[in-house]
């Protein structure tokens, strides 16, 4: 995937789902020489999102190793990573130094300093977490499980280490909602994981579906731009199927 992405995508490309249709078809043509799968809109989107995450991680590593703490002069531009075209590297350096890239980087740094319930898995994307879970357990994880994987670490002594106390409290609140009880057994009112996640974390905002991967939107996740009860019920039905 990394080789194919470098063949068809510029180094400054962020979101592969926004590539021209012709470029996407070339990418899938080459990937099918190695991977065999039944192409659907969902699988295409997931693969492009995973490649986007891989590419952003690669860019981040190059920036940290070859650009950070260097002024935009001959030293920074001359430190070209292996396999990167010098002209593309100069473009990336200019983007990191000026304009929106610099503004967004500074804003993200400020946000991380005050963030609660931060993601603790570094450059490992939600898609990678879900893929690893599926390979190990033979099923797709729900959002409570993804939330925990991104914020909790299992220690060798059998205990858990949460990134912060707020994350632990929110997870315990969601877990209590889906845990069966004597009353629930009689009334059959146990909440589903999706219901519990929405109840505690709140409804997803446009352009952002938490613990679902960067390629998901309200439309792709719920099948609608709406986040009302009908949209959540439809998503829950699909997950159960």
Cα distances (Å, whole numbers) of residue 218 to 40, 144, 147: 19, 18, 18
Q: What is the pLDDT along the chain (241 residues), one digit of tens a residue?
A: 888 888 888 877 878 888 999 999 999 999 988 888 888 888 888 888 888 888 888 888 888 888 776 665 666 566 788 878 888 888 888 777 776 777 777 777 776 666 678 888 877 888 888 888 999 999 989 999 999 999 998 888 888 999 888 899 999 999 998 887 655 555 555 788 888 898 888 888 876 788 887 777 788 787 755 555 455 555 556 656 6
Cα distances (Å, whole numbers) of residue 16 to 42, 52, 79, 189, 232: 14, 6, 26, 42, 27
Distance CA 217, CA 229 (A): 17
164 CB-contact burial (10 Å; exposed 0-12 / middle 13-18 / buried 19+): middle
Task: Enter the tokens of residue 29.
Answer: 């043509």
pLDDT at 5: 86
pLDDT at 127: 80
Sign of CA dihedral 126, 174, 110, 155: negative
Q: Using DSSP, state whether 48 is helix, strand or coil.
A: helix
pLDDT at 24: 93
pLDDT at 20: 92
CB 177 within 8 A of CB 170: no
């Amino acid at each position: 995937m990394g080789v194919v992405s470098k063949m068809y995508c510029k180094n400054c490309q962020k979101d592969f789902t926004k590539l021209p249709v012709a470029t996407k078809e070339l990418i899938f043509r080459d990937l099918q020489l190695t991977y065999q799968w039944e192409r659907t809109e969902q699988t295409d989107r997931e693969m492009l999102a995973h490649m986007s995450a891989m590419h952003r991680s690669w860019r981040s590593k190059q920036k940290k190793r070859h650009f950070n703490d260097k002024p935009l002069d001959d030293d920074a531009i001359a430190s070209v990573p292996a396999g990167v075209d010098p002209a593309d590297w100069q473009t990336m350096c200019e983007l990191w130094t000026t304009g929106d890239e610099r503004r967004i980087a500074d804003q993200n740094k400020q946000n991380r300093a005050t963030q609660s319930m931060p993601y603790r898995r570094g450059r490992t994307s939600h898609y990678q977490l879900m893929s690893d879970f599926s390979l190990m357990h033979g099923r797709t994880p729900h959002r409570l499980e993804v939330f925990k994987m991104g914020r909790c670490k299992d220690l060798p002594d059998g205990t858990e280490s949460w990134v912060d106390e707020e994350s632990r409290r929110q997870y315990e609140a969601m877990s209590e909602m889906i845990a069966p009880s004597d009353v629930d057994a009689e009334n059959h009112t146990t909440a589903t994981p999706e219901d519990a996640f929405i109840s505690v974390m709140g409804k997803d905002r446009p352009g952002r579906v938490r613990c679902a991967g960067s390629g998901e939107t309200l439309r792709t996740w719920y099948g609608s731009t709406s986040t009302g009860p009908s949209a959540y019920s439809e998503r829950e039905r699909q997950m159960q199927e």
